[in-house]
Amino acid sequence: MYSTSSVGSFHTVLQDFRLEGMMMRYSRFVPRLYNFCLSLGMEPGKIMPSRAFCSDESQGFPIILIAKQFGTFPFNHGVGGGGVAIDRHGPHASHGKDLVIIQASHVGYDPQTRLFGCYRRNQTSDCSQSSNCGKLTEVMSWYRDEYDFACNNIFLEPAQQTGHQISINNLLLQADRAEGLLLILDRLIDHDAAGNPILIRSLSTARRFQAAPDLVARIGSRWPTGRRQPIGTMLTPDLFTFRRNRVREPESQSHLEQNLINPMPWILTDAAPALAAAQVNTQVEFDRTHRTLNKERGYQNRNLLFIAGLNIDISPREDQVFPLTKFIPWAAHVQTAGGESHVLEQQELYDALLACDSENPHKIDLEEAIAVMERSKEVDISFAFRRTR
């Protein structure tokens, strides 16, 4: 009944993913990326870019810029939430001489409130704001509900002469549940010399225990003295973990949950959960995809660049058509036609991009390209080969 399991040390999962000082406007990032590709030996006009973005309309502006700078519409390597469809490596490899994959999870940002995770939808009737990335928010919602329940159903009892006591809802004490938030009770409850939890009282819906000395020391002066209070946000991420049954859920959602479930306690308790989730997803997707590239036969002995990062969609004003999207690079896999490959970590990648020119002489004029198509002679399509019955 009492869980004494521990959770991995995920509190450092985001410490090396720097945000400040790493951002580039997409209008600067993409031409620099193109010129970086040329510096790797890729041939102008023979590069097939591919994007692994969420299907959100806010990702359209980056796609337009990729098409403008690379001279072709990018291949689609993405699934909802910014995951990489690794089963599309082969088709992508057959569509170009040199190959680029750009993966990016995304998060909205409201410059007025300075909050992450929201985005103005100008196409709605009232230009309302909604979640962004909605897919990541949807995945997180079940965990948020579980966490909120625990925060509101674990009580710190008023300190008294007998010491500090903590009351825990009976549901949260069931360690054999198929899914739910699981408390690391050794860090919440004190134990006697024999290793048994010190139970003070059994209530109708909860049990009261002697609180663990480390918990008492951590909470310190915030421990209530007059009346009991819910533990609330003092339920820190090192005090719980999650178990989730994802058997019947769509593959894409299960994939995202697999990426996020272990660090989820740190994501939910972060000051900007949507931003933290996008960062973690980018990190996991790069690591996962990087391991598949050398196994893909179509990519062998080819110039290949796989770059992962974070798209920040700055919520547009009502008079703006597109968002001011910024890119924060995380890491890159570089492979040459000679078979050599290496990884660029964040600072190395940022420096390499910054060293490239933000002007691309090979960029195309999209309006002119469309006008050329409009002026082109009509092509008749014949169906004469079809037999009639």
- In this prediction, residue 13 carries a pLDDT of 67
The class level of CATH for 24-137+252-374 reads alpha beta
Query: Do 330 and 310 form a contact (C-beta atoms < 8 A)?
Result: yes
Q: What does the domain layout of the chain look like in residue ranges?
A: 24-137+252-374, 141-243
Q: Given its phi and psi angles, is residue 41 left (phi above 0), alpha (psi -120 to 50 degrees) or beta? A: left
- In this prediction, residue 57 carries a pLDDT of 83
Tokens at 45, concatenated: 């006009």
Among 31, 26, 32, which Cα is nearest to 311's? Answer: 26
- In this prediction, residue 99 carries a pLDDT of 98
- Specify the pTM: 0.88
- In this prediction, residue 389 carries a pLDDT of 60
Contacts 24+ apart (CB under 8 A), 59-66: 59/106, 59/311, 59/313, 60/322, 61/26, 61/322, 61/323, 61/325, 62/26, 62/30, 62/104, 62/311, 62/325, 62/327, 64/322, 64/366, 65/26, 65/27, 65/30, 66/30, 66/102
10-residue averages of pLDDT along the chain (389 residues): 38 78 95 97 96 88 94 92 92 96 94 86 70 85 97 93 90 94 96 94 96 95 93 96 74 75 94 94 95 93 97 83 89 94 96 96 88 87 73
Phi, psi of 257 (to 5 degrees): -65, -35
